[in-house]
Structure 1
Amino acid sequence: MSTTASRGTQASDIQRLQRELLQARTELDDFTYAVSHDLRASLRHVSAYAQIIQEDLGERLTPDIAAHLATVQQAAKQMTRQIEGLTELSRLTRLDLQLTRLDVGQLLRDVLTAMAPALQGRVIHWQVAQDIPALQGDAVLIRQVLMHLLSNAVKFTAHRAVAEIELTWQTHASGLCALTITDNGAGFNPQYKDKLFHAFGRLHGAREFEGLGMGLALTRKIVERHGGVVWANAAPDAGCSVSFTLPLAPTVN
């Protein structure tokens, strides 16, 4: 085959792949719309009719029936939150990154300021490295990662009289920097750590610690979109550390 013919075949293959990719994205958009709009509408109806039944029964509403209706409404709310989490995960797959030079220290201060009102009454010792190098990434999304990870650290140290939460960093020869958030909280069985980074992956009961199990799934997706990886280490009742990598910012001449 001649060089010209070979290039023509390659161009044709690229165009075909681009069309297939566009079609896949269109189908994903259609699916996301159906999930985020149509299914949520149905769940609103379920919740609304449970409320109507409760009101129509009036004085005939027994404690057992009231409990059943409350369970229906709570399940509808929970599924709505799950749908919202899946929609956000799908959105991250298609989102165009706005890469910029990141001041991680400032992002951390912003996150901790936003979290402060919810931490009233807690005793938390923060140990945050002050010399984190400049990294490259989408500031909005990396702020979201830090919010997820720090919120998890706060949540899973709720039963500690004094919570210890630390953020450290380490650069690698590959041009990446690993950020690690460590806590002295509930930890988990490391045998199941691979479940953590999937949608609704939970290693603790909902009654013990609330949440959907979406924070780490979203974190994984964001970090992977930046070309990084995320992992966790822990032991039962002995704390947890979650690490993720991001590229170092280009050197400014």
Structure 2
Amino acid sequence: MTDPQTRIAQLEAELAAARQEMQDFTQTVSHDLRAPLRHIVSYARLVQEDAGPQLNEEVRGFLSTITDASGQLGAMLDALLELSRLGTAPVQITSVALQPLVQEVCDEVAARHAAHVVDVSVDVAVPEVLADAALLRHALLGLLVNAWKFTATTPEARVVVSATLNAQGMVVLTVQDNGVGYNPALQGQLFKMFSRLHSASQFPGLGSGLALARKAVRRMGGEVQLSGAVNAGCCATLLLPGVPVAAA
């Protein structure tokens, strides 16, 4: 019989091999698909430029659809690579100052979407969190971009970012918006890669933000939860280990 320690070592080796195979597969597929994708886009644009005036409106529409769809596929490949990277990148857990990071990401998202004015409130009552700074930033950025996006049709858009410490010593970091929300019956689809609960014509995007945010948070030993309702906004909650008082 195999002793428990040997079996554990075998399982860990198998898991590491499986992760490496998945990373290799994702990168290979993404790389191999990019070459024909570039050709599709290039030739479609050449036809548009060289023969555009001679084409009827319907054919020009077809070419536009080809270039738009190709661009979306390229963005999806980028998202798959990012998911793979998040799953394999080294994790460095340290004490991260929360207030400056939250403010920095809020300012960045506001600058990116300057045309959409949002009333932002930041109330961080926890000085530090045990996290990987890059992964936490990635998760926060994704959640705040979503909050900006889904308040685009809200007359007086508001986003509230807060952080408290619960009884278990976990940091509870929330991003609350007053946007369009979602149907709670579709809760199970929220964290699926490329899953969309709203049409692209309403709100642009791939439907990858939440999946990527959760991957980043789980790599740090945390979790992401969502709650919301139709036309009642959405609240994203990140749970991460707090810094022990003795170590603070």
Matched, 1:226 2:220: yes
Q: 1:167 to 1:26 in 2, by over 3 A?
A: closer
Q: Which structure 1 residue ranges, 5 or more long, are not aligned?
A: 1-5
Question: Measured at CA, do residues 243 and 72 of structure 1 come closer, stay the same or move farther in structure 2, by a change above 3 Å?
Answer: same
Note if contact 1:35-1:87 (Cα within 8 Å) is conserved in structure 2.
no
SS at structure 2 position matched to 1:246: strand
Q: Does the alignment pair 1:42 with 2:36? A: yes
Matches within 5 A, 1:100-119: 100-119=94-113
RMSD: 1.9
Which residue is equivalent to 1:86? Answer: 80
Give the fraction of aligned pairs with identical amino acids, expressed as a percent.
40
After TM superposition, what 4+ stretches of structure 1 lie above 4 angstroms from structure 2? Answer: none
Indicate how the Cα distance of structure 1 residues 54 and 244 shifts in structure 2: closer, same or farther if over 3 A, else same: same
| Residues 170, 109 of structure 1: alpha-carbon distance in 2 compared, 3 angstrom cutoff | closer
1:153 aligns to 2:147 (yes or no)? yes
Say whether the 8 Å CA contact 2:124–2:162 is kept in structure 1. no
TM-score for the superposition, normalised by structure 2: 0.92
Q: How many equivalent residue pairs?
A: 247
Q: Which has the larger radius of gyration?
A: 1
Q: 1:3 aligns to what?
A: none
Equivalent positions of 1:1-253 (< 5 A) are 9-251=3-245, 252=247
- Pair 44,15 (structure 1): closer, same or farther in 2 beyond 3 Å: same
For 2:157 and 2:147, locate their aligned partners in 1 and report how far apart those are by CA, in whole Å.
9
Any stretches of 5+ residues in structure 2 without a counterpart? none
Confirm or deny: 8 A CA contact 2:124 2:164 kept in the other structure: no
CA deviations on 1:27-67 (whole Å, 9 max, x unpaired) are 22320221221111121111112123334535432111111
Offset at 1:237?
A: 1.0
Residue pair 2:124, 2:161 contacting (<8 A) in 1 also: no
**Structure 1 residues 70 and 176, CA, compared in 2 at 3 Å: closer, same or farther?**
same
